[in-house]
Copies of this chain bind each other. A is one copy, B any other.
Amino acid sequence: MNLKAKSGEKLPVGILGATGSVGQKFIQLLANHPWFEITALAASERSSGRAYKDVANWFMRTPIPEHIARMEIRQCHPDLPCKIVFSGLDASVAGEIETDFARAGYVVLSNARNHRMDSDVPLLIPEVNSAHLELVHRQNFGKGMIVTNPNCSVIGFVMALKPLADQFGIEAAHVVTLQALSGAGYPGVASLDILDNVIPFISGEEGKIESEPLKILGEYGNGAVRNADFKLSAHCNRVAVIDGHLECVSVTLKKKTTTDAIKSAWRHFSGEPQQFALPLAPLQPIHYFEETNFPQPKLHRDLDKGMAVSIGRLRPCTIFDYKFVLLSHNTIRGAAGGAILNAELMLKKGIIKSDSLKD
């Protein structure tokens, strides 16, 4: 492999939807990335031509990186000075734009829902289903390709289910989410709607949680993913938390087991990101807490760079076999960080070829 990243030169990348909340998180996480360097910011037509700092309502807790602040925003046309783009585009426009970029030879790492369920598009969590990356060879985009990461509520959920699926088999999983405000983007939820309140509904979210995991946990073979087959039921709530989706999960397993065996499965869970020591990989993907009242969004969302999943309160359930609580950072592991980890894995595995990106 001949990674520019190794030779000290970083790979140029672009951000689509750079002014939005996911776009800002991409910028923040890529600011000091060892392999990637932001060379293009693209957003809607009305922002193009202006300096990033004059357009973006920046609300990250670290300042806008200097060179990004002054960078001119471009339109989302496939003429950007890079060959990899991270897309934080809104679903209302992402579908077409991302396809345009792939057709033009760009590697598109998308956070939007539009292409997630396409049969030739990997819906990727590197620790869980890196084999699905093979799907990109079925895409007809030449050098270009589209790889997606799952919905922000799905990533932590599936990471918790994966070791259980592998070791015990899953028959049914029921999840009630308590989701953070940042999941709704910016401006997103009005303060008058959520202070001293809970909103027991998030548009479209339950459908995603009831479908995406089946694809992610599906088996790859003969050029296709065969969806996993178990029952999934979700109920989604929005709560007054800034970052970090908490989920109350109940599962029925195929093989009977013990809480100790399950905790052990979680604690030993690991995948290619850990094996390759990817820059954004959590050292330990799943942290199990024995404290009776953990995990909590404020205390544990930033664990391991915000890329780890925290689990606690595993206990028998009178209806299902077991129940537990999990937490993952929705805009890092569940969005921008997840997409960057996808790109890191693709680069390491040679699916993104740094040579071909040179020209």
Chain A residues close to B by CB (< 8 Å): 21, 59, 61, 172, 174, 176, 178, 181-182, 186-201, 203, 210, 231-233, 235, 237, 239-242, 246, 248, 250, 292-299, 302, 312-313, 317-320, 323, 325
A192 touches B196 (CB 8 A): no
Known contacts A174-B174, A187-B187, A190-B188; A320 and B233 CB within 8 A of each other: yes
Given the complex, which residues of B lie within 8 Å of A292, measured CB to CB? 201, 203
A198 touches B235 (CB 8 A): no
Known contacts A188-B192, A299-B61; A200 and B241 CB within 8 A of each other: no
Known contacts A188-B191, A250-B174; A201 and B237 CB within 8 A of each other: no
Complex alpha-carbon distance, A337 and B250, angstroms: 33
A196 touches B195 (CB 8 A): yes
B192 touches A59 (CB 8 A): yes
Tell me how far the C-beta of A86 lies from the nearest C-beta in chain B, rounded to whole angstroms. Answer: 21
In addition to A196-B242, A232-B319, A239-B240, 14 A-B residue pairs with Cβ atoms within 8 Å of each other are: A61-B299, A174-B174, A176-B248, A178-B239, A187-B187, A187-B190, A195-B240, A197-B298, A198-B297, A199-B296, A200-B294, A201-B292, A233-B318, A239-B239
Tell me how far the C-beta of A245 lies from the nearest C-beta in chain B, rounded to whole angstroms. Answer: 10
Looking at A59, A193, A297, the one whose CB has the most chain B CB atoms below 10 A away is A193
23 interchain pairs (CB within 8 A)? A59-B193, A59-B299, A61-B298, A61-B299, A178-B178, A178-B237, A186-B190, A186-B192, A189-B192, A191-B194, A195-B196, A196-B241, A196-B297, A197-B297, A198-B241, A200-B296, A200-B312, A200-B313, A201-B292, A233-B318, A233-B319, A233-B320, A239-B239
A190 touches B193 (CB 8 A): no
Given the complex, which residues of B lie within 8 Å of A210, measured CB to CB? 318
B242 touches A195 (CB 8 A): yes
Closest to A246 in B: B198
Given the complex, which residues of B lie within 8 Å of A174, measured CB to CB? 174, 250, 319-320
Complex alpha-carbon distance, A319 and B187, angstroms: 35
Complex alpha-carbon distance, A187 and B199, angstroms: 15
Known contacts A318-B231, A323-B233; A295 and B200 CB within 8 A of each other: yes
**How often does this chain occur in the complex, in copies?**
4
Given the complex, which residues of B lie within 8 Å of A59, measured CB to CB? 192-193, 299
Closest 8 CB pairs of A and B: A187-B190, A176-B176, A197-B298, A201-B293, A191-B191, A200-B325, A233-B319, A235-B248
Given the complex, which residues of B lie within 8 Å of A198, measured CB to CB? 178, 239, 241, 246, 296-297
Given the complex, which residues of B lie within 8 Å of A297, measured CB to CB? 196-198
Tell me how far the C-beta of A210 lies from the nearest C-beta in chain B, rounded to whole angstroms. Answer: 7
Given the complex, which residues of B lie within 8 Å of A201, measured CB to CB? 292-293, 313
B241 touches A237 (CB 8 A): no
Closest to A182 in B: B192
Given the complex, which residues of B lie within 8 Å of A248, measured CB to CB? 176, 200, 235, 237
Complex alpha-carbon distance, A158 and B302, angstroms: 33
Looking at A187, A192, A325, the one whose CB has the most chain B CB atoms below 10 A away is A192
Closest to A299 in B: B61
Complex alpha-carbon distance, A241 and B178, angstroms: 13
Complex alpha-carbon distance, A233 and B315, angstroms: 11
Closest to A315 in B: B206
Complex alpha-carbon distance, A292 and B57, angstroms: 13
B318 touches A240 (CB 8 A): no
